[in-house]
Amino acid sequence: MPVMRTVIAALVVLAAVPALAADDILDAIEQARKAYQAGDMAGAKQQLDTASQLIGQKNAEGFATLLPKPLPGWTAEKAETQAIGAAMFGGVSTASRSYSNAKGDRVEISITGDSAMLMQFATLLNNPALAGAMGKLVKVGGLRAIQNNDGDVIVVVANKFVVHVQGSADAASKLAYANAVDVAALSKM
């Protein structure tokens, strides 16, 4: 009898696993497939748009994990994420975080991805002559970046993501924060 109870308990647990492991993205894709097969093009599109939005949200959450901890002497606010669907700007996922120090200086870092518009900006930054006209060329994580006259830093990562560091802090602080972003991990997303 104890063996039978163990087997039944194991079956109950295994039966619950698919329900616990449900994935909203895959569910939306599956609903889109069913709607398409049923000839419901509007329903299929709506479900695919939902899946796309959910993927954007998941990407933004991933970006947030790459925002650095506060540098010594600084504090940080909680990271914020946002995903805007394909209807706006071709879809954009963003994570941002603000940092401040006792002097009242502020730095904000944003990581943006999932946008075809970013590809056009990447083309500009990859051309040293055009990039140089936009500001001073600097290195961030081994990548070419631009630091403008206000000290803001912009770097394109893997031609898919833009890291933008801005705020009221001095140029050196902004560059230090840009270099604190894990661009190697971002390039693998």
Residue with tokens 């909680």: 78
Across 123-128, average pLDDT: 72
Rounded to an integer, what distance in angstroms lies between the CA atom of residue 61 and that of residue 144? 25
User: Residue 150 above 90 pLDDT?
Assistant: yes
Q: Of 66, 61, 95, which is closest to residue 181 (Cα–Cα)?
A: 66
User: Residue 153 above 80 pLDDT?
Assistant: yes
What the chain holds in terms of domains, given with CATH numbers, is 2-54 (no CATH), 66-187 (3.30.200)
Query: How many angstroms separate the Cα of 130 from the Cα of each of 28, 112, 125, 141, 188?
Result: 42, 21, 7, 21, 26
Residue 156, beta-bridge partner list? 162
Buried b (16+ CB within 10 A) or exposed e, 49-58: bbbbbbbbbe
pLDDT computed for residue 113 by the predictor: 85
5 band by pLDDT with thresholds 50, 70 and 90:
very low
15 band by pLDDT with thresholds 50, 70 and 90:
very low
pLDDT computed for residue 133 by the predictor: 73
Q: pLDDT per residue over 63-121, tens digit each?
A: 889 999 999 999 999 999 887 765 444 567 889 999 999 999 999 999 988 676 666 76
